Structure 1
Amino acid sequence: MHPDEIYLIDLWRLLARQWRGFAIALLAVLALAVAYAFLAKPRYEATAWVQVGQVGTAPAGQDPRPEPFQRVLDRLQTRSFQDEVTQSAGLAPSSPEASAYRGSLKAEPSFYAGLIKLSARAASPEQAKRLALATVERLQAIHGQLQAEPLAQAQARLDEVQADLRTATTERDGLQQVAGTGQGNAVAAGLLLASKDTEVRELRNSRSDLAARMGANYTFGTSMPWPIYQPDHPVAPNRVLILGLGVLGGLGLGLFVAVALDARRRVAQPMRG
């Protein structure tokens, strides 16, 4: 047994001797916690889920999204993007509301689902929802610009394939007429007809594949699969959590004060003797 070890019975006796210091420290911390819990301005949160768009005609091995998933997450955390969002929401970048938005904006990725969970806080439910919506709309505008050229190229390719298909179909129909006449060049026309049938079939397959990849299942813009979630109650301050931490902090500080006071008392006793 070491003389400096503290047992529960000794701790209880110590607290009994220094209960005033323990109580003062505990009550002081509790008073601060209660004051903060009930006087702090409430903060409301809005949550949006974002599905990053893609272009289904992207070459094999190339990311079909307008920008890589990680780059989207990095963009959301840049000051320039956040300033553009606050300006579109009618807030000055230097305003306290804009600063609170930048400090509360969170982006939680779900790589397997291809979704990004965005959350923003504000002083009112309406402002929180407006900021969350402005964040998504700004991201949609950026991705729309990035997707414009690949979509135009895909549409031009589809138009080209359709034009080639019309030409090949017309030529095949002409060869069918020549082959059906039974004239001298019918044999040559029959050989060309077989080749033209193959070309028409391949062009039809290409057109069907391009049309399918440009359909809504493979090509779409950045969007929200669900509406913005906006609870009516504030998410901060969390009074239960704050009061619980206040109790724990008060107990810890009270115990520290009681031990310190008792140690000073023991040091002072030999000096008086």
Structure 2
Amino acid sequence: MENQNPITIQLAYPNPPPPDDEISLRDLWQRLWKRKVSILAITILAVLLALVYLALTPSQYQSSAMVQIGEVGGQPLESGPLLASQLYNQYLPINTVLAKKQLPRLESVVADKDNSRVLTLESRGKTPQQAQEFLDKIVQQLLSTQQKQYGDAVKVQKTQLEEVQKDYRSIRHQIETPSPLGKGADVPLAAISQSQRLSALSGMLAQIGALQEKLSATQTNPTVVTLSARYNPIPVSPKRAVILVLAFIGGLMLGVFVALLRGLPQHS
């Protein structure tokens, strides 16, 4: 019986053609290069529109200053965050819609996180000088109000000190003035009264020392300007460089999109 070898038949099929909607990177680049004029024109148009916007939008310049709230007896005249809120609301226009368009204006008042007595004030104006002059006026008005509060608070502390000193002198005079000794039970009562006066005198000395310490320069200071109002010669708004870069990138992307859209094959 003869051995029969299996016969293998290989069928060759032709490679299927690529689908019509498949695009290679080379074809994509060729389509874009073919429409480079359109892409460039759209990009230039976007940049021109950005330039028109910048020309029509007024520039805003910023000025900043720092104020340290005064204290009396180690206690601030006012709460920093509360005063910051009051100042901002005081100069905020009633019509909040126009608040961001009004120039000059008080842009912000912020209390420092580490030292709430320090306030940073920022204003904006059409020119650097306008922003600085407007902020100077606000700072001077704040100093005037704070100076009155400081004077009243110091006056209260000094009045309290004078009253304690007056009582101290009165009791000391009673101690130093000899009183006629009585007989019998009057002698122990006089000794007890003298001991009470000495004890009160000691307490008053401590109270006088504490009040004098509160009025010392380490615990009592008026409100001062730690950084005078100064302006930035570079406008803070609108941000010209950012707007132009975004316009260029956006125009370029729009041009590429339009070019690819126009190059798509039309299917019936």
TM-score under structure 2 normalisation? Answer: 0.71
TM-superposed CA distance for 1:17, in Å, is: 3.5
User: 1:171 and 2:174 equivalent?
Assistant: yes
Q: Secondary structure at the match of 1:119?
A: strand
Contact 1:43 1:124 in 2 (8 A): yes
* Shift in alpha-carbon separation, 1:255–1:97, aligned structure 2, 3 A: closer
The answer as to whether partners of 1:25 and 1:257 remain within 8 angstroms in 2 is: no
Listed as ranges, the gaps of 5+ residues in structure 1 are 58-63, 85-94
The corresponding residue for 2:253 is 252
In 2, Cα distance between the equivalents of 1:189 and 1:7? 115
Matched to 2:44, the amino acid is L
User: How much identity, in percent, do the aligned residues show?
Assistant: 23
CA distance in structure 2 between the aligned counterparts of 1:259 and 1:137, rounded to whole angstroms = 62
1:39 deviates by 6.7
Equivalent pair of 1:18/1:261 in contact (CA under 8 Å): no
Question: Is 1:107 aligned to 2:124, yes or no?
Answer: no
Q: Which residue of 2 aligns with 1:88?
A: none
Alpha-carbon contact 2:104-2:130 (below 8 Å) kept: no
* Correspondence for 2:121 among 118, 122, 125: 118
Checking the alignment, whether the CA contact within 8 Å between 1:76 and 1:107 is kept in structure 2 is yes
Match of 2:163 in 1: 160
Q: Hey, what's the Cα distance between the residues in 2 that align with 1:158 and 1:8?
A: 89
Matched AA of 2:85: D
Residues 1:12 and 2:29 aligned together: yes
Q: Does 1:75 align with 2:86?
A: yes
- Bigger radius of gyration: 2
- Segments of 4+ in structure 1 off by > 6 A? 2-7, 95-98, 183-188
Q: Per-residue deviation at 1:111?
A: 2.3
Contact 1:37 1:243 in 2 (8 A): no
2:65 to 37, 48, 51: 48
Q: Does the 8 A contact of 2:62 with 2:125 survive in 1? A: yes
Question: Match of 1:68, as an amino acid?
Answer: S
Q: CA deviation at 1:26?
A: 0.6
- Could you say which structure has the higher helix fraction? 1
Q: Distance in 2 between matches of 1:161 and 1:98?
A: 57
| Cα distance in structure 2, aligned partners of 1:137 and 1:4 | 72
Alpha-carbon offset, residue 9 of structure 1: 4.5
Distance of 1:75 and 1:4 partners within structure 2: 65
Tell me the alpha carbon deviations over residues 238-267 of structure 1, each in whole angstroms, 9 at most, x when there is no partner: 43333322322222332333333334xx3x
Counterpart of 2:201 in structure 1 is: 200
Report deviation, 1:134.
Answer: 2.0
Bigger shift: residues 29-38 or 5-14: 5-14
Across the aligned residues of Structure 1 and Structure 2, the Cα RMSD in angstroms comes to 3.9
Aligned length: 244
AA aligned to 1:258 is: A
Are the structure 2 counterparts of residues 5 and 202 from structure 1 closer, same or farther at C-alpha, using a change threshold of 3 Å? Answer: farther
Partner of residue 213, structure 2 = 212
Deviations 1:63-82 (A, max 9, x none): x444433322322332x434
* Paired residues of 1:44 and 1:124 also in contact (CA < 8 A): yes
